[in-house]
C-alpha cells in the first residue's frame, strides 16, 4: 500500500481530527506521514505543521515572489482560511511531516 515508502522505518500514523481538509481527507481518516525537514517540502504537499502553538494539516505553497509560506485548507467549511507566514520570519513555524497516504473509514 505504501509503495516506495513501504520499507521506511520513520513513518508514523495520525488520526485526523477536524474539518479543514475535508474535501480531500475527511475527519476521522487515518494518514501516514513521513518526517521531513522544512527544506524538503514542495508546492502542493499536504503537511503536518505547527505555528503559533497550533498544530494543523494543510496544503503547502511557497509564494517566492512575495516571500510567503502559505498553508491552505481544502474544506467545505468556509470558517477555515489560509495561514500566511512571511518566509523570513518563521521562528514559530515547524513543519513535521508530509502526508504520503491516507485511508477513510466508510462505516
Domain CATH code at residue 90? 2.10.109.10
Count of domains for the chain: 1
Predicted confidence at residue 84, as pLDDT, reads 94
Angle at 53 between CA 89 and CA 59, to 5 degrees: 70
Q: What is the mean pLDDT of residues 45-52?
A: 94
Q: What is the DSSP string of 32-92?
A: EEEE--GGG--TT-EEEEEETTEEEEEEEEEETTTTEEEEE---S-TT---EEEETT--TT
Range of the domain at 30: 3-103
pLDDT tens digits along 74-96: 999 999 999 999 888 667 889 99
Average pLDDT value over all residues in the chain: 91
pLDDT tens digits along 26-47: 999 999 999 997 678 999 999 9
C-alpha span between 64 and 88 (Å, rounded): 11
The whole-model pTM stands at: 0.90
Amino acid at each position: 500500500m505504501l509503495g516506495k515508502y513501504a520499507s521506511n522505518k520513520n513513518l508514523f500514523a495520525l488520526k485526523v481530527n477536524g474539518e479543514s481538509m475535508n474535501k480531500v481527507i475527511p475527519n476521522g481518516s487515518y494518514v501516514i506521514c513521513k518526517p521531513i525537514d522544512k527544506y524538503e517540502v514542495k508546492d502542493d504537499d499536504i503537511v503536518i505543521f505547527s505555528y503559533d502553538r497550533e498544530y494543523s494539516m494543510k496544503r503547502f505553497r511557497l509564494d517566492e515572489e512575495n516571500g510567503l509560506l502559505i498553508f491552505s485548507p481544502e474544506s467545505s467549511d468556509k470558517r477555515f482560511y489560509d495561514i500566511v507566514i512571511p518566509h523570513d520570519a518563521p521562528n514559530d513555524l515547524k513543519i513535521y511531516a508530509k502526508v504520503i497516504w491516507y485511508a477513510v473509514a466508510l462505516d
